[in-house]
Structure 1
Amino acid sequence: MKKFTFCSFILFTGLLFTEEAEKTWFGDPNLQGTWSNQSLTSLERPDEIENLIISDQDAARYAFYYQQFLEAADGEFEVGEQIEAADDPGGYNTEWMDPGTQLLKIEDNFRSSVITYPEDGKLPRKLWRWAINGPQTVYKMFVRADHPEERSLGERCIVGFGSSGGPPMLNVLYNNNYQIIQSPGYVVILVEMNHDARIIKIDGQHNPENMKPWLGDSIGYWEGETLVVKTKNMHPQQEFRAGIRHQIFISQDALIEERFTRTSSDEILYQFIVNDDKFYNDVWKGEMLLRKTDGKIYEYACHEGNYAMENILAGARAEEKQ
């Protein structure tokens, strides 16, 4: 009888601990911790795949081919191997790439795209708008080299590549980690890529329209166990977000809604809706998983040893002399 009572006590206190662990000390649902959204699944669905959900066999095949692609792209040489001709050295070898090892998996189903709507898994682009803005933006950010201010934000170490900082927060080739910290009235998301921080005011008001911070102006509220975040007033220089895994436009007038729901001790379901009439014919929606990680986020010291910017500008001046 005593043994049964003791075991029952342990079970009961364990349940209490679990319930307490799901809440912060001030009573909000607990999203705190370090999380990763790394995945081989890209924002848009590949042309050769029709459905959002794919079989385990197809997912394994895709992961295998992706790993082969990374190995083929590696610029390392074997010891003693002769280098016959100079070539573009690229950024760095695949030792530094960390996109993940499998496709996105939600509710035990592998996903072929982050986008869930439109149903074809493609961005509902306004093609004429992209045709006008796209080439101009790419030329300005990746070809012109008159001043450092003309280069991309990632090269300038201001925000992360693509839309890693969000919103929406999308996976890239590496540094797909986020730390969530909560305090009364605020949720902060520390983004590993370029060490950005999103400060979300709970039950707060948006700033004046003329204030357009990096990563936008975010406010949030709790809808049951789900944190709902609404962001507007995007920084004008963040309109084009380019990474290897995705290329998107987000205008200053876009409205983005994100939903964070903790579905287990080690997973958060992350959902988003982008409403941007300037660049898209319809809203587009997506889902990802944030998985708990035991690692810590260290300072992203982007400018330490960043010789690329100096070399880009110096190289452009050398070309002008020729």
Structure 2
Amino acid sequence: MRVFLTLAALAFATATAPSLPAWAADAPYKAPRNGFGQPDLEGVWTNASLTSLERGPQFKTLTITEAQAQQAEAMRARMMAAQNRPSDPDAGAPVAGNDPGGYNSFWVDPGTRMGRIKGEVRTSWLVEPADGKLPYRPEGWKLYQDTLTKVRNTFDGPEARPLGERCILGFGSTAGPPMMNVLYNNHYQVQQSADAVVIVVEMNHDARVIRLADSRRLPDGEPEWMGKSVGRWEGDTLVVETTGFNPGESLRPYFGASLFLSPDAKVTERFTRIANDQILYQFEVDDPKVYKSVWKAEMPLNATKGPVYEYACHEGNYSLPGILAGARKAESEGRKPEAVGISE
């Protein structure tokens, strides 16, 4: 009888135990191969997450418990629900000079969960430095701040405005490299051929072409948007080195999480499929003009359903003509555009 009860207890425990995540259940995971014999990275992936590049002040460590993560996620859900309440029809028009605000949370899709890598909840993508903060040099920080101030206060023409407003690249560093999660449109479609990998970025429908080569030498020529990328396979990992960034994309503004890379920066990325539904995306930035040290980060790219629809950004929209027209109006009245809240 005792043996029967013991076996029954073991059977019950096995049946009710939580299933192991894919990375643990399938370890050691072996990525499937495509027709070229390469690890298959094709598909639609997303980096949407409540985790961001730098660690917020509420977190003191790189990882937190699942219970802490669920608490943070629930708090964010309540905040989003509050922001999505119907507008007050009796509120009236904004007072002159005040920001009327943007769209409510119905229109944004930053993600609902913190990032998880191999079962660990991450509070930042940065893993080096250990404090989860970008290691700016004093002169690098000044360069970043001066450039940001200039962008925020220059309305002479479209060339002075950020790339997102001009529909050249998505705002923030969504196009990359490195590829960062932003307010919405965090999907990436990967396509492979024998000699190239193409990453189609949902935001602004950028197509980044990574040339595969045995040599680490990057192609010559003029700087390019998203830089010049050359990749190679190291076992199951796609290693991509990128240099030759266009100076116009040094500032990558995104609310409180802007990023600055000089034209001389070198970004090294590693894409490793660690489960059927996840790619481990690791990257490091070597930019001694701006940063005191090479900084390193890693994030999950999670499988999601496609297709990726066109991001309908175009220069014929209202925002850029409206911004410039507002600046001309302010100038005609003897006011500075920044004094009336015209900004990105």
Instruction: Tell me if both proteins adopt one fold, taking TM over 0.5 as the criterion.
Output: yes
Residue in 1 that maps onto 2:196: 186
Q: What is the letter of the counterpart of residue 84 of structure 1?
A: G
Structure 1 segment 256-271 matched on structure 2, within 5 A: 256-271=267-282
1:171–1:184 distance in 2 versus 1, CA, 3 Å: same
Looking at structure 1, the residues matched to 158 and 33 of structure 2 have their Cα atoms a distance apart, in angstroms, of 46
Structure 2 gaps, min length 5: 1-28, 334-344
1:285–1:207 distance in 2 versus 1, CA, 3 Å: same
**Pairwise CA distance, 1:297:** 0.8
SS of structure 1 residue aligned to 2:71? helix
Q: What is the letter of the counterpart of residue 128 of structure 1?
A: E
Question: Does structure 2 conserve the Cα–Cα contact (< 8 Å) formed by 1:43 and 1:245?
Answer: no
Residue in 1 that maps onto 2:288: 277
Q: Given the alignment of the two structures, is residue 207 of structure 1 paired with residue 219 of structure 2, yes or no? A: yes
1:216 to 224, 227, 232: 227
1:245–1:164 distance in 2 versus 1, CA, 3 Å: farther
Structure 1 segment 122-271 matched on structure 2, within 5 A: 122-131=133-142, 133-203=143-213, 205-208=217-220, 210-244=221-255, 246-271=257-282
Cα deviation, 1:242-294, whole Å, max 9, x if unaligned, reads: 11362111111111110000111111000001111011001111111111111
RMSD: 1.9
Name the stretch that deviates more: 270-279 or 45-54. Answer: 45-54
Name the stretch that deviates more: 238-247 or 152-161. Answer: 238-247
1:30 to 34, 40, 51: 40
Residue in 1 that maps onto 2:26: none
Q: Given the alignment of the two structures, is residue 115 of structure 1 paired with residue 137 of structure 2, yes or no? A: no
Question: Does structure 2 conserve the Cα–Cα contact (< 8 Å) formed by 1:173 and 1:245?
Answer: no
Q: TM-score, normalised by structure 1?
A: 0.88
Looking at structure 1, the residues matched to 62 and 294 of structure 2 have their Cα atoms a distance apart, in angstroms, of 18
1:75–1:214 distance in 2 versus 1, CA, 3 Å: farther
**Pairwise CA distance, 1:165:** 0.6
Cα deviation, 1:149-197, whole Å, max 9, x if unaligned, reads: 1000001110011111111111111000000000110000000011111
SS of structure 2 residue aligned to 1:198? strand
**Pairwise CA distance, 1:47:** 2.0
Cα deviation, 1:51-83, whole Å, max 9, x if unaligned, reads: 1010112111211222333344448415xx302
Q: Given the alignment of the two structures, is residue 83 of structure 1 paired with residue 110 of structure 2, yes or no? A: no
Looking at structure 2, the residues matched to 115 and 230 of structure 1 have their Cα atoms a distance apart, in angstroms, of 19
Looking at structure 2, the residues matched to 157 and 57 of structure 1 have their Cα atoms a distance apart, in angstroms, of 40
SS of structure 1 residue aligned to 2:145? helix
1:260–1:253 distance in 2 versus 1, CA, 3 Å: same
Structure 1 gaps, min length 5: 1-17
Question: Does structure 2 conserve the Cα–Cα contact (< 8 Å) formed by 1:75 and 1:89?
Answer: no
Q: What is the letter of the counterpart of residue 162 of structure 2?
A: S
Q: How many residues align?
A: 300
**Pairwise CA distance, 1:298:** 1.4
Residue in 1 that maps onto 2:17: none
1:148–1:239 distance in 2 versus 1, CA, 3 Å: same
Q: TM-score, normalised by structure 2?
A: 0.83
Name the stretch that deviates more: 50-59 or 173-182. Answer: 50-59
Using the aligned pairs only, state the percent identity: 47
Looking at structure 1, the residues matched to 178 and 284 of structure 2 have their Cα atoms a distance apart, in angstroms, of 8
Question: Does structure 2 conserve the Cα–Cα contact (< 8 Å) formed by 1:172 and 1:244?
Answer: no
Residue in 1 that maps onto 2:70: 60
